[in-house]
Amino acid sequence: MTTAQPLTLITGANRGMGFEIAKELGAKGQRILLGARNAEKGTQAVEQLKQSGIDATLIPLDVTDKQSVQAAADRIATDYGSLDILINNAGAVFDGRQQPSVVNTDQMRQDFDLNYFGVVYMCQAFLPLLKKAPKAKIINVSSMMGP
Ligand SMILES: NC(=O)c1ccc[n+]([C@@H]2O[C@H](COP(=O)([O-])OP(=O)(O)OC[C@H]3O[C@@H](n4cnc5c(N)ncnc54)[C@H](OP(=O)(O)O)[C@@H]3O)[C@@H](O)[C@H]2O)c1
């Protein structure tokens, strides 16, 4: 009997570390769901993975947008029924690492929207699907800016 390879969703995977993680895990046989907020960039990244023989599918996903996150979860529920691994990779720094005494609070809010609330939205929306997998994992790529 063959066991299906893990189904892995990576946020912000169209470039940078997310793309490299997709490449490495895909090369090991995992089925990659490549999260990208820009469809064109995401499609290019998926095509690149497919050319290397990786099983990759684009999931349009802006982690700061609750509706986008829920739409991605609904689509994965319909198409796959469960999710084995969620990698919360999308992240960025907006405030230029300014001192708390002078930090621009609008930029600080952008940091929290992406690096903190983005992860919360993802975990809340995807926990029901992860709970349906036999051995699910959530992996958070952190930084000095992230949770
Ligand atoms: N590089 C480092 O030295 C370093 C060190 C410590 C931790 N980290 C952490 O590692 C992770 C990846 O870093 P990286 O250097 O690979 O970053 P990167 O090259 O700047 O890539 C960031 C990725 O996140 C995506 N993204 C940004 N905002 C998003 C949103 N609202 N929804 C969905 N995706 C979004 C970007 O999409 P677009 O292409 O559309 O912008 C891009 O795909 C981050 O969490 C970062 O904090 C990095």
Report the pLDDT value the prediction gives residue 39, as an integer from 0 to 100.
97
The rounded distance, in Å, linking the Cα atoms of 126 and 55 is 21
Report the pLDDT value the prediction gives residue 145, as an integer from 0 to 100.
59
Q: Residues of the chain whose pLDDT is less than 50?
A: 1-2
Helix ranges (DSSP H) in the chain:
16-27, 39-51, 66-79, 105-111, 118-130
CB 32 within 8 A of CB 49: yes
Report the pLDDT value the prediction gives residue 1, as an integer from 0 to 100.
43
What SS3 string covers 82-120? CCCEEEECCCCCCCCCCCCCCCCHHHHHHHHHHHHHHHH
37 pocket-lining for ligand 1 (C-beta < 6 Å): yes
18 pocket-lining for ligand 1 (C-beta < 6 Å): yes
Residues 6+ apart with CB under 8 A from 6: 30, 31, 84, 85
Domain residue limits, the chain: 7-140
Question: Residue 20: how many CA atoms within 13 Å on its side-chain side?
Answer: 3
Report the pLDDT value the prediction gives residue 125, as an integer from 0 to 100.
98
41 pocket-lining for ligand 1 (C-beta < 6 Å): yes
21 pocket-lining for ligand 1 (C-beta < 6 Å): no
Counting ligand 1 atoms within 8 A of each CB, the residue from 11, 20, 21, 37 with the most, and so the one to mutate, is: 37
Report the pLDDT value the prediction gives residue 70, as an integer from 0 to 100.
98
The verdict on domain 7-140 having CATH code 3.40.50.720 is yes
The rounded Å distance from CA 115 to ligand 1 centre is 9
